Amino acid sequence: MAYRGIIAGRFPLEDLKRSRVLEITPDITMIEGYISDDFFFKPPSCNCFVLRDGDLVLLVDTGTYPFYRDAILEVLRKHRKDGAKRLVLMLTQGHFDHVANNDVILEAGYDEVRFLLPEVELHTIDLYHHWMGDWRAMMEYYDPYREFPMAFPTAAVRIAGRVSSRLARSMLSSSCKRLFRGINTLADRAEVLAMDGRTEWTFGDVSFRGWEVGRFLAIHDATHSPGHLSFYDPEDKVLLTGDATLEINPAFFDSSLETCVRVMGDLKRFAEQGYVELTTDGHRSSIWMGELMRTFGRGPVDPIQVVDMARGRDECVAMLGFFEDYYAALKREVLEALARLGEATVPELVEEFKGSSDPCASLKTALVFPRIPSRVDVMVANVMKENGIPHRREGRRILFRPR
């Protein structure tokens, strides 16, 4: 069975057909995904990448909709006819919009098929328990059901949140089960990559850790998810950053805004030193990013956000530098909101953040859940958690104060 969606099989087929297949280098093909402004009912599907090295083909991510299976299979079969024998599937992350067609590798006709998954991503790819666990962990910082009912998929869950957090949670649980139904992640046959099996590589003054697959490096950056990977082709100097470069970060409570800031600094220096000639990511697309900005009635903060990919050293530095600045601005604006308020709950900090005139903060505020999976409340709680901000309880309120 393949992914079915919340309403069985009602997929935005005409939009999906606009996805392009781009040969971004002689050895790397990008199968463009899809983004809408209706997250739960027309969920995103990531860009998938097929990388070739000799008789090895590395498939990175598999998207959401069954529609993309044919496109992936066509590229995989072309390589097989052209002499490839070994197929390896790896994921930038275990989130559903990157894993729902994982079982496509079983249909590609390769002699050897492997699925490699970092051990720290096993929790993420357990889709239902990961989502429900993420919401449960937030309860230590605020009550998302009661204080942010607008973040949930249906009016029924939103209304329930005002009455009872437990009721909202049980209704949300049903919605999540529907959202993820039909997905075979193949997690049960993944070869688990142990953290202590990572290799360290140094380029100039930048070091990364991860796993080698053929000539490609799977860099464990731990940004968007604990086991998030970026992929690097040292021969053609191509860097594929998955969701490490994404305007909605930190998308989950277990994403890390701190790590996003640090990793973007490393990747920008990596590019500055001449190691990156092409970079793109898990959702970058001139079509969909452009449409998204128009839908929300605004332009990008930087024009580099609405390209398909950055080409050449300077554009790559601009892309990675934009995200370093973007994430640093988000963190700074949250901490400055806290400093101004003195002592505040997560909802009060969200309101203060929304008043920021910083262009990055204003973009983050504009991309709202449930149209887009961008949650200012999750980001605020993430900053409180990662910076060890002290808090105290006053009845149902959880109050944070500057250190």
Q: Which stretch binds Fe ion (CB under 5 A): 26-34, 115-123, 275-283, 386-394?
A: 275-283
Nearer to Fe ion, 5 or 282 (CB): 282
Closest contact distance (angstroms) between CB of 251 and Fe ion is 8
What is the DSSP-derived secondary structure letter of residue 237?
A: T
Closest contact distance (angstroms) between CB of 88 and Fe ion is 20
Nearer to Fe ion, 143 or 243 (CB): 243
Provide the token pair at 319: 């892309």
Closest contact distance (angstroms) between CB of 93 and Fe ion is 7
Q: Does 348 bind Fe ion (CB under 5 A)?
A: no
Query: In 186-285, which ranges are continuous DSSP H helix?
Result: 257-272
Q: Does 147 bind Fe ion (CB under 5 A)?
A: no
Ordered DSSP codes for 158-191 = HHHHHH-HHHHHHHHHHHHHHHHTT----GGGPE
Closest contact distance (angstroms) between CB of 308 and Fe ion is 16
Nearer to Fe ion, 161 or 282 (CB): 282
Q: Does 221 bind Fe ion (CB under 5 A)?
A: no
**Cα-based distances in Å from 131 to 96, 125, 180, 317, 354:** 10, 10, 11, 34, 25
Q: Does 281 bind Fe ion (CB under 5 A)?
A: no
Q: Does 32 bind Fe ion (CB under 5 A)?
A: no
Q: Does 61 bind Fe ion (CB under 5 A)?
A: no
Q: At what angle are helices 346-354 and 359-366 packed, to 10 degrees?
A: 120
Which residues ranging from 232 to 251 are in contact with Fe ion (CB under 5 A)?
243
311: left (phi over 0), alpha (psi -120 to 50) or beta: beta
Question: 35-50: buried (b, 16+ CB within 10 Å) or exposed (e) per residue?
Answer: bbeebbebbbbbbbbb
Closest contact distance (angstroms) between CB of 221 and Fe ion is 14
Nearer to Fe ion, 46 or 172 (CB): 46
**Cα–Cα distance measured from residue 180 to residue 247, given in angstroms and rounded to the nearest whole number:** 24
Which residues ranging from 162 to 201 are in contact with Fe ion (CB under 5 A)?
none
Count of residues that bind Fe ion according to CB under 5 A? 4
Residue of 182, 151, 146, 152 whose CA lies nearest to 166: 146
**Cα–Cα distance measured from residue 188 to residue 197, given in angstroms and rounded to the nearest whole number:** 20
Closest contact distance (angstroms) between CB of 16 and Fe ion is 16
**Cα–Cα distance measured from residue 92 to residue 243, given in angstroms and rounded to the nearest whole number:** 7
Q: Which stretch binds Fe ion (CB under 5 A): 45-53, 147-155, 287-295, 306-314?
A: 45-53
Cβ 258 vs Cβ 277: under 8 Å: no
Q: Which stretch binds Fe ion (CB under 5 A): 12-20, 42-50, 120-128, 155-163?
A: 42-50
Nearer to Fe ion, 94 or 282 (CB): 282
Provide the token pair at 300: 């990008």
Ordered DSSP codes for 354-399 = HT---HHHHHHHHS-TTTSS--HHHHHHHHHHHTT--EEEETTEEE
Nearer to Fe ion, 293 or 349 (CB): 293
Q: Does 97 bind Fe ion (CB under 5 A)?
A: yes
Closest contact distance (angstroms) between CB of 87 and Fe ion is 22
Nearer to Fe ion, 176 or 337 (CB): 176
Residues that bind Fe ion (CB under 5 A): 46, 97, 243, 282
